Amino acid sequence: MHRVFIKDLALYEGKEVKICGWLYNKRSSGKIFFLIIRDGTGIVQVIVSKNDISPEIFEASEKITQESSCEIIGIVKKEPRSPGGIEIILKDLKIIQISLDYPISPKEHGTDFLMDHRHLWLRSLRQQAILKIRSELIKASRDYFDKEDYVLIDAPILTPSSCEDTTTLFKTDYFGEDAYLSQSGQLYNEAAAMAFGKVYCFGPTFRAEKSKTRRHLMEFWMIEPEIAFCRLEENMQIQENFISFIIQRILSKLEKELIFLGRNLEPLKKVIPPFPRISYDEALEILRKSGIDFKWGGDFGGGDETILAENFDKPFFVSHFPAICKAFYMKQDNLKPELALASDLLAPEGYGEIIGGGEREDNLEILKGKIKAHNLNEEAYKWYLDLRSYGSVPHSGFGMGIERCLSWICGLEHVRESIPFPRMLTRLYP
């Protein structure tokens, strides 16, 4: 018999179907059993009544345990009180493997226990909802840049030099030479932007961040566009259009999953351009009014970002940071060289920075000076400096962390649930 997916059952009302999945839960009331089956596309309740089936099949439905794999044949029936408005009347049950005592029972478990069992925890409806939204977030991000005619360029993962803070490099051996896992594809993107005009890369990035916060992962995925002949303001316009596009897409396609996660949809519905823009100095004013004595020159921490966000009900930009707290490639403001033409996009509701970006230094001599001031080895950046010698133009770009953005969209307390197998300061397993 032809296999049907649970999400499509409504199309088969009154018909006999086969579904393949796992037992999610089981209830009984007297002579009737209720088997809750999941198959990754949804869950459905299967009614087992002793009088309608053979004793062998009834026995199988008695002994099937949580997470056992099985095939079910039954008749699809309308039932408004069931999930999906559909249930199945069992005719045949074939157990493929009886699951051992499943460690994740419906009772509450601690976070460490769940993280140790991440390979099984993925089967919960909550984790499935989050990771389906992740999948659509990535698709929507790619769709946005594809429809705007950006060319996808894959940046290397093994690199000879750093893009961001050298203290967060993961070092490895490359046939006797030092190599580092990529912190960002940006520098290669800049080369590609000079070839194609508008490009983006998407891939895993790595930071040996010795911070144990709810926002930091050691391995995260970043989507990074880079645009030739583009300045700071236009770069921010691209970001607000992009973010609004992905939020509207997720609201229209995955509202059910967001509601399942308990997400309040109202703040997401407000994510429409333009987004407010404040300068770093204005952000400092806001912090001071909240009683925080923030010293000019530092970058904001998670707590500062949360306080700033209390003043906005949409994502908002902070721009014109002190150059000393940003990376070497940031273009300096020609009128105030102590400032960098950089911007961060902060999510509302206390989720902090989801995008970092800005204009790149396009002047060869100034860039050389920055490389020196950051104690970087000019030799390693020879190719990158070439871009400023052969047709240099103003250009900008940004990077959005998928996990930070997803945590905000889903309303997660911690970034660890936003990626299938998180790599954190104290976790490399499973």
Binding site for Mg ion (CB under 5 A): 356
Q: Which is nearer to Mg ion, 127 or 168 (CB)?
A: 168
Q: Which is nearer to Mg ion, 35 or 187 (CB)?
A: 187
Q: Which is nearer to ligand 4AD, 184 or 244 (CB)?
A: 184
Q: How far is the CB of 133 from ligand 4AD (least distance, A)?
A: 16
Q: How far is the CB of 150 from ligand 4AD (least distance, A)?
A: 13
Q: Which is nearer to ligand 4AD, 89 or 151 (CB)?
A: 151
Q: How far apart, in Å, do the first and last CA atoms of the chain sit?
A: 37
Choosing among Mg ion, ligand 4AD, none, which partner's interface includes residue 268 (Cβ < 5 to 8 Å by kind)?
Answer: none
C-alpha to C-alpha distances, 29 to 22, 44, 91, 283, nearest whole angstrom: 21, 18, 19, 61
Alpha-carbon distance of 114 to 371, in angstroms, equals: 44
Choosing among ligand 4AD, Mg ion, none, which partner's interface includes residue 164 (Cβ < 5 to 8 Å by kind)?
Answer: ligand 4AD
Q: How far is the CB of 346 from Mg ion (least distance, A)?
A: 10
Choosing among ligand 4AD, Mg ion, none, which partner's interface includes residue 163 (Cβ < 5 to 8 Å by kind)?
Answer: ligand 4AD
Six-digit token pair at 361?
């230094």
Q: How far is the CB of 340 from Mg ion (least distance, A)?
A: 12
Six-digit token pair at 171?
């070092």
In the complex, the residues that contact ligand 4AD under the rule CB under 6 A are 163-164, 184, 186, 207, 209, 216-217, 220, 222, 224, 353-357, 397-401, 403-404
Alpha-carbon distance of 61 to 33, in angstroms, equals: 8
Alpha-carbon distance of 323 to 297, in angstroms, equals: 8
Q: In 148-295, which ranges are continuous DSSP H helix?
A: 186-196, 232-253, 255-260, 266-269, 280-289
Q: Which is nearer to ligand 4AD, 220 or 316 (CB)?
A: 220
Q: How far is the CB of 357 from Mg ion (least distance, A)?
A: 8
Choosing among Mg ion, ligand 4AD, none, which partner's interface includes residue 42 (Cβ < 5 to 8 Å by kind)?
Answer: none
Q: Left if phi > 0, otherwise alpha if psi is -120 to 50, otherwise beta: which for 175?
A: left
Choosing among ligand 4AD, Mg ion, none, which partner's interface includes residue 209 (Cβ < 5 to 8 Å by kind)?
Answer: ligand 4AD
- Yes or no: say if 36 and 6 are a contact pair by the CB < 8 Å rule: no
C-alpha to C-alpha distances, 44 to 5, 81, 125, 333, nearest whole angstrom: 10, 11, 13, 59
Q: How far is the CB of 327 from Mg ion (least distance, A)?
A: 9
CB atoms within 10 A of CB 167: 10
Q: Which is nearer to ligand 4AD, 118 or 416 (CB)?
A: 416
Choosing among Mg ion, ligand 4AD, none, which partner's interface includes residue 224 (Cβ < 5 to 8 Å by kind)?
Answer: ligand 4AD
Choosing among ligand 4AD, Mg ion, none, which partner's interface includes residue 235 (Cβ < 5 to 8 Å by kind)?
Answer: none
Say which DSSP state 360 is in: B
Choosing among Mg ion, ligand 4AD, none, which partner's interface includes residue 190 (Cβ < 5 to 8 Å by kind)?
Answer: none
Q: Which is nearer to Mg ion, 209 or 233 (CB)?
A: 209
Q: Which is nearer to Mg ion, 271 or 327 (CB)?
A: 327
Q: How far is the CB of 353 from Mg ion (least distance, A)?
A: 6
By Cβ distance, which residue is nearest to ligand 4AD? Answer: 356
State which amino acid sits at residue 259: I
Q: How far is the CB of 224 from ligand 4AD (least distance, A)?
A: 4
Q: How far is the CB of 267 from Mg ion (least distance, A)?
A: 22
Q: Which is nearer to Mg ion, 222 or 371 (CB)?
A: 222
By Cβ distance, which residue is nearest to Mg ion? Answer: 356
- DSSP, residue by residue, 34-82: EEEEE-SS-EEEEEEEGGGS-HHHHHHHHH--TT-EEEEEEEEEE-TTS
Q: How far is the CB of 43 from ligand 4AD (least distance, A)?
A: 31
Six-digit token pair at 85?
């408005």
Q: Which is nearer to Mg ion, 42 or 356 (CB)?
A: 356
Say which DSSP state 323 is in: G
Choosing among Mg ion, ligand 4AD, none, which partner's interface includes residue 388 (Cβ < 5 to 8 Å by kind)?
Answer: none
Torsion over CA of 82, 83, 84 and 85, rounded to 10 degrees?
A: 10
Choosing among ligand 4AD, Mg ion, none, which partner's interface includes residue 370 (Cβ < 5 to 8 Å by kind)?
Answer: none
- CB-based burial of residue 12 (10 Å sphere; 0-12 exposed, 13-18 middle, 19+ buried)? middle
Phi, psi dihedral angles at 211 (to 5 degrees): -105, 135
